[in-house]
Amino acid sequence: MNYDAIIIGAGAAGLMTAISAAQRGRRVLVLDHANKAGKKILISGGGRCNFTNMYVEPANYLSANPHFCKSALNRYTQWDFIELLSKHDVPWHEKTLGQLFSDNGSKAILQVLLDECSSAGVQIQLDCQINRIEKITDGFALQTNQGNMQCLSLVVATGSLSFPTMGASDFGHRIAKQFGHSVTQLQPGLVPFTLDKPWIEKCIALAGVAIDARATVDGQSFKEALLFTHKGVSGPVILQISSYWKPGKQVEICMLPDVNLFSLLKDAQAEFPKRQLGTVLSQHIAQRLLEQFVPEADLKEVMQHFKHSRLQEIADIFQNWQFIPSGTEGYKKAEVTLGGVNTDEVSSKTLESKIQPGLYFVGEVLDVTGHLGGFNFQWAWASGHCCGQFI
């Protein structure tokens, strides 16, 4: 039971590490406590896996050390992953904002990784509980429910806390701490906000309604769709900004960010003075949204009766909506976990621990979190591939 490398976690980063190392002739074993490899890949992108993005930049990643991700992202790019898909004839398409999805669903992406593992001779053991990890003279010894094993290099590819139903655990952080590493503050990322009074009743009434919006927290903005939910707000724009939010911080929402609603209302007043405000607004905003946000008396009033100051107030209802979320929907609904193993203690070139030689960290377990849009998988592929070159 001796291996050159044991990789804990058969997710995106672990499988990629295994492929990259096994193709170099290493004897590689991947262990996972789940009953299936790549569960998060399967559920990702609504079952279609947003596997990368055309426009990957270090600026798409959050980390206490924003430079850490650069080296791996440069050495294994989105084009490298696309080439891998071409080799397996997996078709894909661009949705919006450079987001690339599999035409044949997430299964096709996972199958590529499993086929590569199998042709490179990677062994994968599922349903494996790791009870103990020990440093020995020549590497590491693992005690598991499937026996004892040893390896020269141990790779932690366990992901992080989000989506525990898909096998997520804090095991990687515990291994890191066992070997003297620190873990930065953890927080759910890419997660819906929950709202309290006075907004929650409106959100419940609007559940399912979507509108284009810009969301801003502390000067950081994103422009995409906002979705009202029974608990508050979600949709891509909210998921993106949630990664920049801290409890107690105010969120600013500008609905229809490409329209100057005040100017539009003033123009409509000049052109259609006898038209009701509700009729003017309903050309741009869903009726249900108008009913929840604008007093009924205003909606029924004709345009000529409004002072400009009131039109500005009405425009602000939509274009300067400010609220402080009561919280988020937590790790159960978060696509990622912000924070992780402190990257100051890990080599950005090899992904090896600077504290414990032979120990490596890849993927989401590290303090590197991507924006929504395929960036998290690209980090998993890139960090895994680069690590596999050194173990």
Which residue ranges make up the site for ligand FDA (CB under 6 A)? Answer: 8-14, 31-34, 39-40, 43-45, 49-50, 130, 157-159, 162-163, 167-169, 171, 335-336, 363-364, 374-377, 380
Q: How far is the CB of 12 from ligand FDA (least distance, A)?
A: 4
CA–CA dist 212, 210 (Å, integer): 7
Dihedral pair phi/psi, residue 101, rounded to 5°: -120, 150
32 vs 367, beta carbon nearer ligand FDA = 32
* Angle of the 78-87 helix axis to the 375-388 helix axis, nearest 10: 80
327 Cβ neighbours under 8 A, 6+ residues apart: 193, 194, 247
What tokens does 358 get?
């032979």
23 vs 99, beta carbon nearer ligand FDA = 99
- Is 28:22 a contact under the CB 8 Å cutoff? yes
32 vs 116, beta carbon nearer ligand FDA = 32
43 vs 186, beta carbon nearer ligand FDA = 43
Nearest to 98 by CA among 60, 153, 145, 126: 60
Q: How far is the CB of 8 from ligand FDA (least distance, A)?
A: 5
Q: How far is the CB of 47 from ligand FDA (least distance, A)?
A: 9
CA–CA dist 189, 330 (Å, integer): 8
- DSSP characters for 248-284? T--EEEEESTTS-HHHHHHHHHHH-TTSBHHHHHHTT
Q: How far is the CB of 96 from ligand FDA (least distance, A)?
A: 13
Q: How far is the CB of 171 from ligand FDA (least distance, A)?
A: 3
Q: How far is the CB of 10 from ligand FDA (least distance, A)?
A: 5
CA–CA dist 94, 289 (Å, integer): 31
159 vs 306, beta carbon nearer ligand FDA = 159
141 vs 286, beta carbon nearer ligand FDA = 141
205 Cβ neighbours under 8 A, 6+ residues apart: 288, 292
